[in-house]
Amino acid sequence: MNNSQTFSSPFLHKLGVLSLLTIVFFSACRENTILPSDLIPPIDNINTFSQDTFTIITNNVYQDSILTGGKRNSTQISSSPNLFHALGTITNDPIFGKTHANIHVEVLPPVPNFSFKSGTNRVIDSVVLSIPYRATYGDTINNSTQTFKLFRSIGTFSKDSAQFEFTKDTIDNTLMSQVAVNLKTMKTDSPLVSGVKLIPQIRFVLPAWFSDSLEAQMTLGTNGAFADFSKYLAWWKGFYIQADSTNGNTIGFFDTYRTKLNIYYRYINTSAQPDTAVDVFAFDPNICNRFNTITRNYTGKIVQNFINSTAPAGDSVLFLQNEPGMSALISMPYLPSFENVIVNKAELIFYAVSYNNFTDTLMYGTIPRLQIFQTDTVGVDNVIPDYNVFGSNIVDGKATQYSINGITLTQYKFAVTYSIQRLISEKNTNFRFKIMGLNNGYPAAYRVILAGNKSSNPLVKPQLKIIYTKIIK
């Protein structure tokens, strides 16, 4: 899976003089750690100190408004070939409840003023909508067969506007097609078409009335849908693929960027000979749009009691998902009043834990990488500047194995030196961190349970570790 940052808005605050000096110094030292060990001043407890007892308060919060299609600001997500769309249902994750995902996708003829092959007596044998399979997330141990239904979209969704996980399609309720898909075996299920073995994909056979509609639009000539792309999209606004919301514990990911509408037909060619052909309408990233509708439902599950927690002292456990879903808010209430120092290195550390004797990795896997961003008291989120200054490999957030007293735990560590320097220098009492699963092109996959600051086990509580040097006045 490809990793990418979720947010793109830069910091808007001005840097203090101390922060500027610090960042210039750090920018010259972009190695595997924030500073090479030989450049970090020795901890002598006279000028340079190490402290890991800073107060951290952690709360659970729901994170929505993930961009799944169209465009927001300068991000044209619908045209990204590395974005895959979720389709399917997880009905009973024992901790995180239900996830349901549906897809809207559009296709266009290969050229404006499209026409079929020259000839006579054309007969359309079949029309098939195909979307390549990419991956599966969820329960692949048990039966993973789900039914997906295809409908005509009648809503207009511009590629230049934003579609989020809560954007709902408007559809004609006439069922066009449906197919039963086994997501457990789909990665090896290669359909055979005209003797050719294709890559794994979902295929919907469209009804005869759709073929008749294509022929009718062709007959209309310049007044029909094939005259130009805008007329086509005005006639056929897209397809909506709906997963059964009551069955399944698996989500499939499909490459909607490579969606195709395959039109198979026979005709008498210009040499007066019987012939066959296939014309392909496809998703065009320059004109078409596509998006995901994803819903989470935590009703009756443990996580429901922690959604948007406002416990002043923090939560004992943190429930995290990839967007959209649960995230964790991290505040450091006393750090703004800390004396001005030069921050040599700052790390935030979290540990995955089991909860209520539930093994988190039983079927659904642990988040392979978390992302961290900054927020404030009114919920405005931005990328932390550490990503731009040091790069994502330095900031990290990947799951690693760590041993405590002979017990191996999953640890997530973030290098946040620059952000902590700014927080201390600017005395910003509104500053918060937020963490959740990295949106790496597979929305709604993965989750993990972390220990919160109110955990009864002091060994797995979140830590903020800072090595700093006092400023000689």
The whole-number pLDDT of residue 358 equals 59
SS3 of 16-42: CHHHHHHHHHHHCCCCCCCCCCCCCCC
The whole-number pLDDT of residue 354 equals 83
Per-residue pLDDT tens digits for 77-97: 999 999 999 999 999 888 999
372, 439 in Cβ contact below 8 A? no
Please state, as a whole number, how many other Cβ atoms lie within 10 Å of the Cβ of residue 446: 22
**Residue from 7, 13, 10, 29 nearest 417 by CA:** 29
Dihedral in degrees, nearest 10, Cα atoms 287, 292, 293, 294: -160
Does residue 312 have a pLDDT over 60?
Answer: yes
SS3 of 336-363: HHCCCEEEEEEEEEEEECCECCECCCCC
3 — pLDDT class (breaks 50, 70, 90): very low
6, 437 in Cβ contact below 8 A? no
* Entry pTM: 0.87
* End-to-end alpha carbon distance in the chain: 50
Per-residue pLDDT tens digits for 166-196: 999 999 999 999 999 999 999 888 888 888 8
SS3 of the chain: CCCCCCCCCCCCCCCCHHHHHHHHHHHCCCCCCCCCCCCCCCCCCCCEEEECCCCCEEEEEEECCCEEEEEECCEEHHHCCCCCEEEEEEEEECCCEEEEEEEEECCECCCCCCCCCCCEEEEEEEEEEEEEEEEEEECCCCCCEEEEEEEEECCCCCCCCEEECCCCCCEEEEEEEEEEEECCCHHHCCCEECCEECCCEEEEECCHHHHHHHHHHHHCHHHCCCCCHHHHHHHCCCEEEEECCCCCEEEEEECHHHCEEEEEEEEECCCCCEEEEEEEEECCCCCCCEEEEEEEECCCCHHHHHCCCCCCCCCCEEEEEECCEEEEEEECCCHHHCCCEEEEEEEEEEEECCECCECCCCCCCCCCEEEEEEECCCCCCEECHHHHHHCHHHHEEEEEEEEECCEEEEEEEEECHHHHHHHHHHCCCCCEEEEEECCCCCCCCCEEEEECCCCCCHHHCCEEEEEEEECCC
Report the percentage of the chain scoring pLDDT > 90: 76
Q: Which residues pair with 343 in a beta bridge?
A: 468
The whole-number pLDDT of residue 29 equals 36
Per-residue pLDDT tens digits for 220-239: 999 999 999 999 999 999 99
Please state, as a whole number, how many other Cβ atoms lie within 10 Å of the Cβ of residue 406: 5
Give the mean pLDDT of the chain. 88
Does residue 44 have a pLDDT over 80?
Answer: no
The whole-number pLDDT of residue 394 equals 94
Least confident of 142-146, 277-281, 314-318, 349-353: 142-146
Task: Please tell me the distance from the alpha carbon of residue 443 to that of residue 369, in angstroms, as a whole number.
Answer: 13
Please state, as a whole number, how many other Cβ atoms lie within 10 Å of the Cβ of residue 75: 15
The whole-number pLDDT of residue 22 equals 38
Least confident of 10-19, 35-44, 414-423: 10-19
Per-residue pLDDT tens digits for 368-418: 999 999 998 888 899 999 999 999 999 999 999 999 889 899 999 999 999
46 — pLDDT class (breaks 50, 70, 90): confident
Report the percentage of the chain scoring pLDDT > 70: 90
Does residue 23 have a pLDDT over 50?
Answer: no
Average pLDDT over residues 34-43: 66
CA 391 to chain centre: 20
The whole-number pLDDT of residue 194 equals 83
Per-residue pLDDT tens digits for 97-140: 999 999 999 999 999 999 999 999 999 999 999 999 999 999 88
265, 123 in Cβ contact below 8 A? yes
The whole-number pLDDT of residue 320 equals 96
Per-residue pLDDT tens digits for 341-353: 999 999 999 999 9
Does residue 59 have a pLDDT over 60?
Answer: yes
CA angle 100, 102, 104 (to 5 degrees): 160
Does residue 258 have a pLDDT over 80?
Answer: yes
Does residue 58 have a pLDDT over 70?
Answer: yes
**Residue where the block lists tokens 């997963």:** 243
Task: Please tell me the distance from the alpha carbon of residue 31 to that of residue 39, in angstroms, as a whole number.
Answer: 11
Average pLDDT over residues 191-206: 92
**Residue from 9, 12, 42, 15 nearest 27 by CA:** 15
The whole-number pLDDT of residue 144 equals 81
Task: Please tell me the distance from the alpha carbon of residue 40 to that of residue 265, in angstroms, as a whole number.
Answer: 71
